[in-house]
């Protein structure tokens, strides 16, 4: 079953024309949302699903699109879609808004906006045991060209070029630099370096997607590990001298990096901070940490009431360095 413009229909009816504007020109925006199966509770937990739909609304505003459902309404649609499919395993949700007119001509205005969402099983997107990465020859798209802070479908050609280059050269993932030559992100992941016990990550001005998993990592590092995150400009050669490194994202989850351009990161093995974050994240998203229940949306049964120490989404987590 899939959701098309607010209605759940059989997947066979979830089709669009080959003349659709969004297909011809990449005029669409989307989200990726994970749901984690917990065999102990026999439930799936969508992770920070409302924040994903809030970001989808922001992407729509950038692309001159209208999404006629509130984030809360979209959450309810997502829950019902997963229930209708009766999944009992790890899943991935893909909501997308796109220009639906069947015309030839590049523009964003005076076109109809349609919306769909699918829910499918999903395992690991990249290796979570240790990635060997390279610095890509392809530069990251710029905010004044194709805004990276929006998940624009057409913009992922940039990611595809980098990923294929990396894979064909024997690497598991690419690290992209921005037009100024500073570290931006992976082909579909945010990047963290561990240096002197602190986390360092490219800031919002480095043409990164402001990742929800990235935000989660910073909050968990502050609250559970007592470590601040420095959001700052990062040079390419810092990739070669970091103590540890990991990528993160809804698809990637927490994916340690063990080498960059054939240079080992730290000892060339999974580092202790990356390992701790990986374990912590896996427990939080599967509902094993009740103090983080507010990040979870259950599919089949209500979560038990759990006390939290304030609003997790508003705690101070990072230090921005220009």
Report d(CA 187, CA 190) in Å as an integer: 9
Report d(CA 48, CA 251) in Å as an integer: 14
Q: Spell out the residues 6+ positions from residue 47 whose beta carbon is closer than 8 angstroms to its own.
A: 33, 34, 35, 36, 250, 285, 295, 296
3-state helix, strand, coil split of the chain in percent (to 5) is 30, 30, 40
| Active-site residue flag, 7 | no
13, 107, 151, 219: which one is catalytic?
A: 151
CA distances from 261 to 40, 67, 136, 241, 242 (A): 41, 42, 10, 12, 13
3-state secondary structure 156-171: HHHHHHHHHHHHHCCC
3-state secondary structure 119-154: EEECCCCCCCCCEEEEECCCCCCCCCCCCCCCCEHH
The CA-based angle 176-283-171, given to 5 degrees, is 25
Q: State the catalytic residues.
A: 151
């Amino acid at each position: 079953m899939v959701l098309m413009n607010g209605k759940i229909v059989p997947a066979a009816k979830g089709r669009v024309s080959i003349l659709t504007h969004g297909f011809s020109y990449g005029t669409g925006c989307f989200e990726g949302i994970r749901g984690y199966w917990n065999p102990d509770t026999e439930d799936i937990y969508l992770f920070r699903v409302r924040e994903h739909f809030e970001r989808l609304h922001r992407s729509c505003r950038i692309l001159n699109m209208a999404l006629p459902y509130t984030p809360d309404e979209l959450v309810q649609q997502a829950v019902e879609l997963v229930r209708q499919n009766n999944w009992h395993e790890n899943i991935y949700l893909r909501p997308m808004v796109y220009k639906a007119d069947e015309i030839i001509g590049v523009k964003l205005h005076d076109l109809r906006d349609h919306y769909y969402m699918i829910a499918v099983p999903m395992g690991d997107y990249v290796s979570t045991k240790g990635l060997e990465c390279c610095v890509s020859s392809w530069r990251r798209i710029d905010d004044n060209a194709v805004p990276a802070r929006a998940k624009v479908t057409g913009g992922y050609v940039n990611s595809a070029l980098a990923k294929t280059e990396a894979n064909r050269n024997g690497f598991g993932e690419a690290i992209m630099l921005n037009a100024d030559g500073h570290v931006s992100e992976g082909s579909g992941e945010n990047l963290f370096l561990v240096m002197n016990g602190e986390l360092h990550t490219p800031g919002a001005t480095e043409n990164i997607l402001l990742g929800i998993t990235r935000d989660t990592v910073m909050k968990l590092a502050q609250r559970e590990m007592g470590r601040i995150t420095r959001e700052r400009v990062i040079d390419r050669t810092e990739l070669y001298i970091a103590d540890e490194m990991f990528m993160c994202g809804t698809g990637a989850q927490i994916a340690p990096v063990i080498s960059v351009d054939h240079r080992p990161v730290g000892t060339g093995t999974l580092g202790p901070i990356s390992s701790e974050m990986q374990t912590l994240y896996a427990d939080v998203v599967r509902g094993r940490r009740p103090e983080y229940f507010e990040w979870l949306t259950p599919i089949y049964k209500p979560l038990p009431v759990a006390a939290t120490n304030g609003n997790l989404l508003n705690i101070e987590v990072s230090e921005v360095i220009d």
